[in-house]
Amino acid sequence: MPTSSQPTEITTKSDSRPVQWSRLLRSFGTLIGFLVIVAFFSWQKPNTFLNVRNWLNITQQVSILGVVAFTMTVVMVLNDFDLSVGTMASLVGIVLGVLLRDGQSSLPAAIGAALIVGMVGGLLNGILVSYVGISPFVATLGTLTMFNGLALYISGGTTIFGRVIPTELSDFGRGGIPLGTVAEQQVVLPNLTIVALIVLVIAWIMLEQTVFGRRLYAIGGNMEAARLGGVRVRLLRLLAFVISGLGAAIAGLMLVSRLASANPTQGDGLMLNAIAAVFLGMTMSEEGEPHVLGTLLGVLILGVLANGLTQLQIDTYIQQILTGGIIILAVTLSSLSRRSS
């Protein structure tokens, strides 16, 4: 440790600065936007939108997207992408279904095998990006196609459903923990929401509270400086993709559980929404870094939009146009306010 022999004056100046409204607006603009959306739907649908049941319903609706988005955040902290998460979720569902149907596996064994498939897929992505040196866009675009083909091949292109899917699994996807009754209706905290919350907490701890997470942010900020600063960049990049693959696998299992069936393309749509959620969340941070809590807000925005617009009986195709527009608007406003400061 350096000596304190010389009298060193305190050189850190005082931290009292006037509140900067522009900065607050920049950091919380997306949150304010979210509240505006909530207020709008509450005004339009006072009876059906703003109540506990509907909100628990929303959390269930976004739980699967949430799991993918939270683990996608880990990869995007490194400035990388994982485009293969959607088809990986589909593939994992198919693997589970086929193991239960043909292999007569027990449910825990099939789930374990399905999770391993996700991690191996992530490992493949990680090796391609980190050790072979292919750009994440190209590498995961390639594996996206491979996983898709593999899911179709294994399943023969058909949906696996019916008695093959054990009732424990489908009950889990529909059930939850009763919280009591509100307005004479039973209120249930859905199991899938609980799974998503657990993944959220783990991802938050991992990124914000561990050595591993800090190093990931260092790599994302400046890969060369991180390497020279003693961070094992290759290994950590590899691990991030494994985590993303694992997240996709969990999401794939949740889908099978919720739908009580396994279709070779049922998870494909998750990828774009997960990336969109992370981008929405990035608008919350001063330096434009992805953070899990920001991603949570992004996921909720997408979920509330879907729920509210459906309640307003807006056509699903129009919903897509509106959702895309809102994503662009949020990111545009955020980058404009950053530029003006």
Partner 1 sequence: MRGGGPDIPTLSPACSSEPMALQSIDHPPDDGAALLAVTHASKSYHGVPALIDAALELRSGEVHALIGENGAGKSTLIKLLAGVLSPDSIEIRVRGRLMQFHHAQDAFDAGLRFIHQELNTIPTLSVAENIFLSQPYPTRAGLFVRWRTLNQRAADVLARLGVHHISPRQIMARLSPGDQMLVKIASAFVGDSITSAGDSTAWVYVMDEPTAALTGQEAAMLFDVIQRLRRRGCAILYVSHRLDEIFEIADRVTVMRDGRVVTTAAIEDTTPADLIRLMTGRDLQQVYPARDPGTTAGERLLLDVQGLTTHAIRDVSFHLREGEILGIAGLSGSGRTELLRALMGADRVLGGTLRLSRAGRLQKLSPAEAWRHGIAYVPEERRSQGLILSRSVSDNITLPHLRDLARGPFFLNHQRERETSQMLGKAVRLQARSVEQITRQLSGGNQQKTVFARALVRSPQILLLDEPTRGVDVGAKYDIYTLIRQISARGTGIIMVSSELPELLGMCDRILVMREGRVIGAVKAGDVTEEQLLALCYGEIPHANQLTTD
Spatial CB neighbours of 302, under 8 Å, sequence gap ≥ 6: 62, 65, 273, 276, 277, 280, 323
∠ CA 284-285-291 to the nearest 5 degrees? 90
15 vs 184, beta carbon nearer partner 1: 15
- The backbone torsions φ and ψ at residue 190, rounded to the nearest 5 degrees and listed phi first, read -65, 145
15 vs 168, beta carbon nearer partner 1: 15
Q: How many CB atoms lie within 10 A of CB 198?
A: 12
Site for partner 1 contains 211 (CB under 8 A): yes
Q: Binding mask 47-86 vs partner 1 (x if CB under 8 A, - otherwise)? A: ----------------------------------------
3-state secondary structure 237-281: HHHHHHHHHHHHHHHHHHHHHHHCEECCCCCCCHHHHHHHHHHHH
Q: Give the residue among 291, 276, 268, 267 at the shortest CA–CA distance from 324.
A: 276
- The backbone torsions φ and ψ at residue 258, rounded to the nearest 5 degrees and listed phi first, read -75, -40
Site for partner 1 in 250-309 (CB under 8 A): 286-289
Binding residue (CB under 8 A) for partner 1 from 46, 156, 157, 229 = 229
Binding residue (CB under 8 A) for partner 1 from 22, 145, 158, 222 = 222
- The backbone torsions φ and ψ at residue 162, rounded to the nearest 5 degrees and listed phi first, read 80, -140
Site for partner 1 contains 17 (CB under 8 A): yes
292 vs 304, beta carbon nearer partner 1: 292
14 vs 104, beta carbon nearer partner 1: 14
Site for partner 1 contains 1 (CB under 8 A): yes
- How far is 48 from 270, CA to CA, in rounded Å? 27
307 to 38, 165, 237, 265, 271: CA distances (angstroms): 11, 28, 36, 23, 19
Q: Whole-angstrom distance between the N-terminal and C-terminal Cα of the chain? A: 39
- How far is 4 from 88, CA to CA, in rounded Å? 56
Choose the binding region for partner 1 from 3-11, 154-162, 299-307, 313-321 (rule: CB under 8 A).
3-11
Site for partner 1 contains 26 (CB under 8 A): no
Choose the binding region for partner 1 from 101-109, 218-226, 249-257, 306-314 (rule: CB under 8 A).
218-226
* Number of shown-chain residues binding partner 1 (CB under 8 A): 38
Site for partner 1 contains 217 (CB under 8 A): yes
Binding residue (CB under 8 A) for partner 1 from 32, 225, 272, 328 = 225
Choose the binding region for partner 1 from 17-25, 57-65, 90-98, 136-144 (rule: CB under 8 A).
17-25
Choose the binding region for partner 1 from 148-156, 178-186, 230-238, 332-340 (rule: CB under 8 A).
230-238
- How far is 104 from 264, CA to CA, in rounded Å? 20
| Residues near partner 1 (CB under 8 A) | 1-4, 8, 10-15, 17-18, 20, 209-215, 217-218, 221-222, 224-232, 286-289
